[in-house]
Amino acid sequence: MKTKTEKNISRRSFIKTSATAAVGISLVPVFSGFKARPELMTRSFGLLNHDVTTFGLGGQASIQWTPEDVDPVAIILKAFDKKINYFDTSNLYGPSQMNYGRAFRKLGLIPGIPGYNEGLRQSVFLTSKTHIRVAKGDLNIENVRNATNGQAGSHTIDDLKRSLSQIFGDGEGNYPEGAYLDMILLHSISGTADVDAAYEGLYDTDSKAERIGALAALRDYRDGTNYTGLNPKEEKLIRHVGFSGHYDAGVMMDLIQRDRDNLIEGMLVAINANDKLNFNMQNNVIPVATPKNIGIIGMKVFADGAMYTKGAHWSNHPSHVVRQVGSPELPFRPLIEYSLTTPGVSTLIIGIGQISDNPAECQLTQNITAAQIKPDGLSETDRTAIEKTASRVKEGKTNYFQIEKGGLTAARNIRLAKEGDQRVRLTWDTAFAGSNPIDHYEIWKNETRTGTVKHLPQTTKQPFVFTDSLAVTGKAEYKITTVDRQGNRAESDVLAV
């Protein structure tokens, strides 16, 4: 079994600082008067033992859809030179991983090549992604069969090894000893079928099973074990496992709640100033991830460019890459600050369309500068003002990647059962929050409030519980009312006993 240093160390010249430039929500665009900061802020990244810069380099934009006059490798090198330590890519991002490979060769980050700097490699947090939910067996899941974009691999571990080959190896399936990813994400978790497939065999792993989900195999490649039979060399090729999502907060909550062993250590989630106009992430899945110390990365800060020149649709061409630095109508800085002051978020990945020697025209330089903000750097009044400004863009319909319908819901999966002759037991699963966090649940019996249960994030499949004495003759009717912090209410159906 191959071994390697297990802990990350600080990059040679990183200095953690709590100082930050004065930041606010001024709607005056930052096009001039830029002064570079000599140091970058970092934040703790869940339990991953690696403080991350608040700006991380996204693997899309010009690194994937490269315009003819842009050098994608130069973008990566400049981000590294500016002391960024979180880097993102994916098996779905076309040439993105190969571009990282070219940059990493210039930086001495390829094991086995003269000049390899192991300490420097350990300072960089590199994440890639797979859209494949199954490590063995049938891939009969909606939107998964073609997820490799026509490439050769057909299962999760094929994607993992493709990442290592394209970034650290020859791009043809081979990678050097000592190559690893800091994290791999199950990309774009969108439906219950995704979650079912990913978890298959995780808690009852059988190497002879016809079908094994992604998580069981990735656990083997994280721990250097071979419970699945899919890691015969007992390689340790990844350090952490996570997932990404931008569509359905409820499905993402389900994925976290099923994780009994705290295997999931990272979450990449869509979060921007129009989040609350939809089935939002910040009051639903992020509060579930935070108590489990999952490292949270924000994405879609500019709605994949839809806040600016791109239409509200997926990118698929270099012409869709946004290359401007904000706009007079919607400066970029408040959008970045909004996402980074969302409780629980450690870093943001932002795709870069272009860099420039002129700081005022360099997206990378400007975005890094805007990201130098503390978690509490904006007041709620500030955040509300940013939401109001962003909601005017495309009539608020920028987040095409997110379920549109949101709002406070009633408690879910309510169950009512008698316990003996004189007691009843009510159980339920969390309601979904609207634009305000949930505060509590009221229990009503025969139109009289009989109890209150404080809302806490439901991090497991254990339901909320309330027991009550019947102490009535005839039928007792119960309902549960969800109440958010602004007093908004959502009532459940009535259950009788």
Q: Verify that 332 and 443 share a domain, yes or no.
A: no
DSSP annotation of 98 reads H
Does 22 map to a domain? no
Q: What is the pLDDT of residues 58-81, one digit of tens each?
A: 999 999 999 999 999 999 999 999
Cβ atoms 256, 198 nearer than 8 A? no
Assess whether 286 and 429 both reside in one domain: no
Q: 250: closest CA among 278, 213, 273?
A: 278
The arrangement of strands across the sheet holding 464-469 comes to 412-419, 423-429, 464-469
What is the average per-residue pLDDT within 134-140?
86
HEC string of 358-425 equals: CHHHCHHHHHHHHCCCCCCCCCHHHHHHHHHHHCCHHHHCCCCCCCCCCCCCCCEEEEEEEECCCEEE
Among 365, 396, 427, residue at a domain's last position = 396
Contact (CB, 8 A) for 335 and 286: no
- Are 276 and 309 contained in the same domain? yes
Q: Does the pLDDT of residue 208 top 70, yes or no?
A: yes
17 inside domain: no
Mark whether 392 and 418 lie in a shared domain: no
Q: Is 225 contained in some domain?
A: yes
Domain match, 416 and 343 both:
no
Cβ atoms of 296 and 264 within 8 Å: the answer is: no
| Gyration radius from the chain CA atoms | 24
**What is the reported pLDDT for 140?**
66
pLDDT confidence of residue 32? 29
Write down the pLDDT at residue 472: 59
Domain with 56 in it: what CATH number? 3.20.20.100
Question: Is the domain of 307 the same as that of 454?
Answer: no
Distance CA 239, CA 432 (A): 32
Can you name the residues that pair with 438 across neighbouring β-strands?
Answer: 484
pLDDT given for residue 420 in this prediction: 77
User: Which has the higher per-residue pLDDT, 56 or 34?
Assistant: 56
Of 368, 396, 424, the residue at which a domain comes to its end is 396
Query: Quick check: 482 and 446 in contact, CB under 8 A?
Result: no
Same-domain check for residues 432 and 344: no
DSSP per position, 41-68: -EE--TTSS--EESEEE-SSGGGTS--T
Q: Is residue 405 part of a domain?
A: no
Is 122 part of any domain? yes
| The predicted structure's pLDDT at residue 141 | 60
Q: What is the pLDDT of residues 310-331, one digit of tens each?
A: 999 999 999 999 999 999 999 9
* HSE-up (13 A, CA, CB side) for residue 173: 4
CB atoms within 10 A of CB 477: 14
Q: Is residue 107 part of a domain?
A: yes
Shared domain check, 178 and 282: yes
Same domain (yes/no): 384, 425: no
CATH, residue 459: 2.60.40.10
> Could you tell me if 235 and 186 lie in one domain?
yes
Averaged confidence pLDDT in the chain? 89
The encoded tokens of residue 83 equal 């002391």
Percent of all residues in the chain with a pLDDT value above 90, rounded to a whole number: 84
Of 396, 424, 449, the last residue of a domain is 396
Per-residue pLDDT band for 10 (boundaries 50, 70, 90) equals very low
The domain tally of the chain equals 2
For residue 71, the tally of other CB atoms under 10 A from its CB is 15
What are the residues facing 441 on neighbouring strands?
453, 482
CA angle 436, 490, 474 (to 5 degrees): 150
Read off the pLDDT of residues 138-177 as tens digits, 9 standing for 90 and up: 876 654 544 444 344 579 999 999 999 999 999 999 999 9
Comparison of pLDDT for 385 and 10, the residue scoring more: 385
Q: Element (H or E) spanning 73, and its range?
A: helix 72-81
Backbone torsion region of residue 56, taken as left when φ is above 0, otherwise alpha when ψ lies between -120 and 50, otherwise beta: beta
Across 118-147, average pLDDT: 82
456 in a structural domain: yes
Q: Band of the pLDDT at 470, cuts 50, 70, 90?
A: confident
pLDDT interval class at 419 (50, 70, 90):
confident
Mean pLDDT of the region 223-230 = 98
Residue 418 lies in a domain: yes
Give the largest CA-CA distance in the chain.
Answer: 84
Do 268 and 341 belong to one domain?
yes
Going by DSSP bridges, is the β-strand pair 86-88/125-130 parallel, antiparallel, or unpaired? parallel
Residue 191 has pLDDT above 90, yes or no: yes
Domain that holds residue 452: 412-496
Q: What is the pLDDT of residue 266?
A: 98
In a 10 Å sphere around its CB, with 0-12 CB exposed, 13-18 middle and 19+ buried, how is residue 462 labelled?
exposed
When pLDDT is cut at 50, 70 and 90, the band that residue 282 belongs to is very high
DSSP letters spanning 177-244: TT--EEEEEE----SHHHHHHHHTTSSS--TT-S-EEHHHHHHHHHHT--TTSS-TT----EEEEEEE
Same structural domain, 147 and 257: yes
The residues with which 183 forms a beta bridge, in sequence order, are: 127, 240
pLDDT tens readout for residues 430-447: 999 999 999 999 999 999
Q: Which of 350, 291, 299, 405 is nearest to 58 (CA)?
A: 350
**Minimum mean pLDDT range among 6-10, 236-240, 248-252:** 6-10
> What does pTM read for this prediction?
0.89
8-state DSSP, 289: H
